[in-house]
Amino acid sequence: MTISTNQFKSGMNIEVDKTIYTIVEFQHVKPGKGGAFVRTKLKNFKTGSVLDKTFRAGEKFTLIKITTKEMQYLYQSGDEYYLMDNETFEQISIRKEDIGEAAKYLKEGMVVGLQMLEGKMAGVDLPLTVELEVVRAEPGMKGDTATGGTKPVTLETGLTIQVPLFISEGDVLKIDTRTGKYLGKA
């Protein structure tokens, strides 16, 4: 299906230069002189990188239909991640490279959205925040503010992030899955 720039809505997926992008935001601009245009912020569907792009008003694009199926993450075995369909209870396995960066946030029992593009797995839609336990943390040195008062810690999924000095092993932290940043204690 083809759409033009005047049909844009946030959250739509379109194909630009053979790459799938999600429209994050857009703005129609009608200058006093010259033709109208649309200023957009697009998120690359595969990599997650954000791109600012301007299109002429009325330019046409292919609308990409991506469906999301609710799945529960069960466990990992080697490079395979096993998920269960919450409706049919059917289990599927997905390779680590197909999950990508989302693997750093997956915790057993977590419900995620499995994104399907033309019947094939296209990505994993994570919750906005996850709660993960700290499994390794160096003790914070008193008066150590040379690094801005942060230290690296390793979480139960293997993810390493920067946190304030008062965080210790066993703490459960709230993490933003879009940025990988510490939000606070859970």
pLDDT digits (tens, 9 = 90+) for 87-101: 899 998 888 888 878
Distances (CA, A) of 106 to 2, 34, 76, 100: 35, 49, 10, 11
pLDDT value of residue 71: 92
What domains does the chain contain, in order, with CATH numbers? 2-63 (2.30.30.30), 66-125 (2.40.50.140), 129-185 (2.40.50.140)
Residue 178: alpha-carbon gap to chain centroid? 5
Tokens 């919750």 -> residue: 127
User: pLDDT tens across 105-127, in order?
Assistant: 999 999 999 888 877 787 788 88
The per-residue DSSP string of 79-133 comes to: TEEEEEETTT--EEEEEHHHHGGGGGG--TT-EEEEEEETTEEEEEE--SEEEEE
Give dist(CA 53, CA 141) in Å, integer: 46
